[in-house]
Structure 1
Amino acid sequence: MTRERGYSLVEVLVSMAIMLIVTGSVFQLVNPGQSSAQVQPEVQDMQQRMRVGTDSLFKDIVMAGAGPYQGAVTGSLMSFFAPIIPRRTGRLNPDPATSVFDDRLTVTYVPNTYSQTSITVAMPDTSVELKVAAQANCPADTNQLCGFHIGDEVLIFDASGNFDTFTVTNVQAAAGHLQHRGQMFNSPSGYGPGSIITQVKSHTYYLDATNRQLRDYDGDNGDFPVVDNVVGLKFEYFGDANPPTQPKPPSGVANCLYDSLGNYTATGMTTLTTGGGSLAPLPLAMFRDGPWCGSGTNQFDADLYRVRKLKVTLRVQTPLAALRGRDATLFANPGTSVSGQKFIPDLVTSFEVSPRNMNLSR
């Protein structure tokens, strides 16, 4: 008769220890995989949102200042007024006329359009019949309004630096009825015959800190989210070190730089240092001390004529607090994650834009 012998206590303990070591090793391999599976989709989402935000900002800022290219008057809007203003303008909730901010800006440019002409009858009121010149570039149509249609956003401006934006609300046989975005003209005397009128694009990009969104306001009724979970937006300005000498209006017309006799009047403006480069940093304080150009809610500081380049910084975060750590240098809104394998730092990107139509004189 044979005697069966079982495992000793020592053998059992050794076996259990080996099993625990192997099992622990397996979990060590599996856990990072689980963390990666949760983190990677969020990283890709943040990168995609950053691409959308930077692309939207770049494509409109680089167009800033594009002006009429057909008709009697052509060239950059810089020859008339500042096409980049560091505040919100427009019909809904505009910022005070002399205020400036580093987390918002309004850009203005003329898109590809045949609707570029001048008015033939003075426009003294906020809502009037608009009569325009039938220039060679105007498309052939029956309303004699150079291709303007209901709903078009249009810009009117003159050599004094005044400008206003409108919405076409009606098109009649030989006149269009326009509604001004504001309650009254910014130009104190309206616009005389020969003032330029064209279709326009206006974009105010700003940070909605409450909803953590990058938003785009069109100056009228449209205010649209561009990117969610944006926690930082900053615009920095660079430009000519010397005070601006352009635009110079025609004889008999004054603006913020010249009187009606052609004498330069902006003699108190500061000459800056470039620090070795071709452009000087333009601090925001320069844009709120005058001399003031334009009028009404569209007033702007003459130093904005110096602007040649912008630096844009955009910061996005993951919406999941469980994937945000507690280090305030990495997270604008610290979260609850304590694991180095399960947090995603805020994504920050900076880029520079030199609007082509604001550098034509360089």
Structure 2
Amino acid sequence: MTVRRGTFDRESGFTITELIVSTAIMLVVTGAIFSLVNPAQGSGQAQPEVADVQQRMRVGNETLFKEIVMAGAGTYQGPVRGSLNNFFAPVLPRRTGFTSPDSYTTFRTDAITLVYVPNTYSQTSISSDMPNVSAELKVTPQSNCPQGEQLCGFSEGMGVLIFDSNGNFDAFTITQVQDNAGHLQHRGQDLSVPYDIGASITQVVSNTYWLDRTTHQLKQYDGYTTDVPLVDNVVDLRFAYFGDVNPPTAPRPLIGTANCIFDASGNNLLPTLTADEGSLTALSGAMLTDGPWCGGGTNRYDADLLRIRKIRITLRLQAAKPEMRAKDTGGVSAPACNSAPYSGLFMCPGSASGGERFIPDYTVTFDVSPRNLNLTR
């Protein structure tokens, strides 16, 4: 029997050309996949920072709104009642208080002092004359004062306001209460003017809100010794003021006497202005620092501050991480910051290199009309 020898096909491998082509295709496909994944990863890293900026903006907005809307709230018990705006300017465009106060001639766009009377029983008057160098005062018992307390509920650490009908005011902190002696002691600085018997005294809230441009923080100053940071990474804060075109009508002096608003004949010394913001007019820094001056000592204030009816707030925040901020064309380079106001995306540029990781600064502008400054409108 004859056996037929079969033939077997030889198995062929890949050529070097085929390997190169297949590798190139694989690299292209892999690169395309990573190009889709990388932006998503960048966006995932940015979203927590976006939420953080929005939350800090919410805290800043709500804090300023609640405080400004209360500005000027006055006494509602005791010998005198009504908005503080009838007695002095409860909104001041500067820092006031015991530590590092601004001069009364200062106008700052990034600081505001707000004064108002909270819900309190401690509203009465002084029962004896009070010289401006005195650290002690006596108060008059009133029907609204807590029963069994000689000093109308005033206590150590309480913020207190004393004011009269002549446009004078002083805020201070109670350091000691002596019921047996029937008087209070306050922190050591002199008052701006002496006060006659019958001047009003009440518990008060007096805070300055200002931008620390060194630490980029919105801070609250309590008027005594404490500055508390409220919001981090704030790169701009601006306050603008709008007022009544008609001159203020209070405080009005007694007939035959004059003050910063009226002459001895009862004629108003301030002009009527032209409206340029609806029924209101913009109050510039120059207008609010040129007099006539009301009050006394370091608590003097421009009479036009009594016109304020609306405040416009601009608040600008940045991402906390520099890698989420990029350089604007034409702007400064990190770590320097651009001067305010700045219209670019980043007040303080960072090191971000991809658009998917950019978090532009957040800017919010809103108006607040303090209700206690608009009671006659």
TM over 0.5: yes
Partners of 2:277 and 2:223 in 1: CA distance: 38
Q: Give deviations 1:186-217, integer Å, cap 9, x for gaps.
A: 11xx1111100000001101111111111110
Structure 2 residue aligned with 1:67: 74
Residue 181 of structure 1: how far off its partner (Å): 5.8
Aligned residue in 2 for 1:334? 349
Alignment partner of 1:175 out of 182, 187, 192: 182
Task: Return 5+ residue gaps in structure 2 as ranges.
Answer: 1-7, 332-343
1:264 maps onto 2:271 in alignment = no
Instruction: Indicate the SS of the match to 2:319.
Output: coil
Unaligned runs of 5+ in 1: none
1:165 aligns with 2:193: no
Q: Which amino acid aligns with 2:364?
A: T
Which of 98, 105, 111 aligns to 1:91? It is 98
Q: Please, which of 35, 42, 45 is the counterpart of residue 42 of structure 2?
A: 35
CA distance in 1, matches of 2:73, 2:66: 12
Kindly indicate whether residue 244 of structure 2 is the aligned counterpart of residue 243 of structure 1: no
More off after superposition, 18-27 vs 84-93: 18-27
| CA shift in 2, pair 1:81/1:291, >3 Å | same
Separation in 1, partners of 2:104, 2:136? 28
1:197 aligns with 2:204: no
Query: For the Cα contact (< 8 Å) 1:326–1:338, is it kept in 2?
Result: no
Q: Partners of 1:252 and 1:163 in 2: how far apart?
A: 22
Structure showing greater radius of gyration is 2
Does the 8 Å contact 1:160/1:253 carry over to 2?
A: no
Given the superposition, is the C-alpha separation of residues 121 and 276 from structure 1 closer, same or farther in structure 2, using an over 3 Å criterion? Answer: closer
Whole-Å Cα distance in 2 between the matches of residues 197 and 253 of structure 1? Answer: 24
C-alpha separation between the residues in 1 aligned to 2:173 and 2:248?
A: 32
Question: Could you tell me which residue of structure 2 aligns to residue 111 of structure 1?
Answer: 118
Number of residues paired by the alignment? 355
Question: Aligned residue for 2:219?
Answer: 215
- Aligned equivalents of 1:150, 1:276: Cα separation in 2: 45
Deviation of the 1:125 alpha carbon: 4.1
Length-normalised TM-score, structure 1:
0.94
Q: CA 1:342–1:207 in structure 2 vs 1: closer, same or farther (change >3 Å)? A: same
Larger displacement relative to structure 2 (275-284 or 285-294): 275-284
Read off the aligned partner of 2:252 and give its amino acid letter. Answer: K
Residue 225 of structure 1 is matched in structure 2 by 229
Deviations for 1:73-104, whole angstroms, at most 9, x for unmatched residues?
A: 10000000000000000000000111111110
Cα distance in 2 between the residues matched to 1:166 and 1:89: 11
The answer on whether the counterparts of 2:244 and 2:309 sit within 8 Å (CA) in structure 1 is yes
Q: What is aligned with 1:324?
A: 325
Contact 2:242–2:277 under 8 Å retained in 1: no
Is the contact between residue 171 and residue 206 of structure 2 (CA under 8 Å) also seen in structure 1? no
TM-score (norm. length: structure 2): 0.90
Distance 1:251 1:347, change over 3 A: same
CA gap of 1:208–1:248, structure 2 versus 1, over 3 A, is same
Cα deviation, residue 252, structure 1: 5.8
Aligned CA-pair RMSD: 1.6
Given that 1:87 and 1:100 are in contact with CA atoms closer than 8 Å, whether structure 2 keeps it comes out as: yes
Partner of 2:365: 350
**CA offsets, 1:276-335, max 9 Å, x none?**
611111111101100000011111000001100000001111122221111141111112
Match of 2:341 in 1: none
Distance 1:208 1:92 in 2: 15
The structure-2 alpha-carbon separation of the partners of 1:252 and 1:220, relative to structure 1 and needing over 3 Å to count, comes to farther
Q: 1:41 to 1:181 in 2, by over 3 A?
A: farther
Structure 1 range deviating more: 247-256 or 62-71: 247-256
Q: Is the Cα contact below 8 Å between 2:159 and 2:171 reproduced in 1?
A: yes
